[in-house]
Structure 1
Amino acid sequence: MSAFLISLVVIFVAELGDKSQLMALTFATRFRTLPVLAGITAATALVHLASVLLGAVLGVAIPQGPVSVIAGVAFLGFAAWTLRGDALDDDESRKVERARGSAVLAVGAAFFLAELGDKTMLATITLAADHGGVAGLVGVWAGSTIGMVVADALAIVVGRVLGRRLPERVIRYAAAAGFVVFGLLLLAEGIKNW
């Protein structure tokens, strides 16, 4: 349960201000909300399943103390990445505009490709490496998937209510602060267990 809750919070925070939220907003302007959320959920579940499996392999191959230190440093890096900000580049914007056919497939394919190598994927790998065992890995997968879908659903709702005037800087600072807190906690745990 702790792996689920930690993953849910970490990935929710990681997703705030991420380009995936911008994609969710953009797709929600073209398609109905439920197909957009279905595509996001399917893509996220697949990417995060692969991330958890990769993290499990790394967690077994590397002792727990160094894994926590590496995870802590990674989370501090995610904080810097979050502060830098994220935006859709021209190629990603064109993909959103060209999406045709089934909304679920268009959104799912775009999200799947956008999430490969993204900070939420890397954070999920890091969390899975830190939470071994079947229950921990299932918790990381479920928590990270739900955290991302909820953050993207929030972007759609807030975007529809407030238009495109989101307080991006405040969201970015809050998300970065969350990464710093988790990063420092993981560093402390890793140093203690080294």
Structure 2
Amino acid sequence: MDFSALTLSAGVVALAEMGDKTQLLSLMLAARYPKQALPIIGGIFIATIANHACAAFLGEWLTTLMNPEVLKWVLSLSFLGIGLWLLVPDHIDDAEGSKVADRAFQVFLLTIGLFFLAEMGDKTQIATIALGARYSDVLSVTIGTTLGMMLANVPAVWAGQKFTKRMPIKWVHAVAAVTFIAIGVATLIWS
């Protein structure tokens, strides 16, 4: 187990997730199903593992297709791009069409589906692909990025709207952006 890959993955994804559409989705689901916190959290966990494991494996596989010099540039530009992307605020569409009964299993399945789809092409999924390419330990990257998602989204479920009102989202995004940009520059210099 590569603990540096795990901790870095967890940290950058937790920071990147603050104010992200999936965190807003957590808030929305918690408000819509206030008595279903555990099924929502379980759904977030399952969807994140599935999505991020696929992304980390994709990143590792990409390393077999590129020579080290090209890969260094692709990774550096990816991390720099993610860092800049973090400076752009996310928005979530209001989806009122769903009339799902307030039952735990249905909320669990709804959360899995919504989170898996919301993560497709999201900056944290792109970051997971880049981290999977940067570190050869896909398991550590997947565990780390999943942990980061849970660190950001579980409090959103438990605390609801109050969580984001007290957290300076722009500041958190700036710290995450600087972290990704620093990883990009470090990858370019030291790889």
Whether TM-score is above 0.5 comes out as yes
Give unmatched runs, 5+ long, in structure 1.
Answer: none
Is the deviation greater in 79-88 or in 165-174? 165-174
Equivalent positions of 1:41-80 (< 5 A) are 41-80=45-84
SS state at 1:84 partner: coil
Partner of 1:155: 156
- The alignment status of 1:125 with 2:126, answered yes or no, reads no
Counterpart among 81, 84, 89 of residue 88 in structure 2: 84
- Identity rate, percent: 33
TM-score (norm 2): 0.86
TM-score (norm 1): 0.85
Is the deviation greater in 116-125 or in 66-75? 66-75
Deviations 1:71-112 (A, max 9, x none): 1211111122111111103xxx216x6161411111110011
Q: For the structure 1 residues 67 and 163, does the alpha-carbon distance in structure 2 shift closer, same or farther, using more than 3 Å as the test?
A: closer
Partner of 2:172: 171
Q: Distance in 2 between matches of 1:163 and 1:119?
A: 19
Give the deviation of 1:167 after TM superposition: 2.2
Deviations 1:161-185 (A, max 9, x none): 4474542222222221222222221
Q: Distance in 1 between matches of 2:19 and 2:175?
A: 10
Q: Distance in 2 between matches of 1:107 and 1:160?
A: 18
- The alignment status of 1:98 with 2:98, answered yes or no, reads yes
Give the deviation of 1:188 after TM superposition: 1.4
Report the number of matched residues.
Answer: 183
Q: For the structure 1 residues 184 and 158, does the alpha-carbon distance in structure 2 shift closer, same or farther, using more than 3 Å as the test?
A: farther
Q: Distance in 2 between matches of 1:19 and 1:62?
A: 32
* Counterpart AA for 1:152: N
The structure whose residues are more often helix, as a share, is: 1
Give unmatched runs, 5+ long, in structure 2.
Answer: none
Q: Distance in 2 between matches of 1:47 and 1:162?
A: 25
Quick check: 1:71–1:183 contact (8 Å CA) kept in 2?
yes
Counterpart among 23, 26, 30 of residue 24 in structure 1: 26
Q: For the structure 1 residues 170 and 107, does the alpha-carbon distance in structure 2 shift closer, same or farther, using more than 3 Å as the test?
A: same
Partner of 2:190: 189
Q: Distance in 2 between matches of 1:14 and 1:119?
A: 8
Task: Let me know the Cα RMSD of the aligned residues.
Answer: 2.0
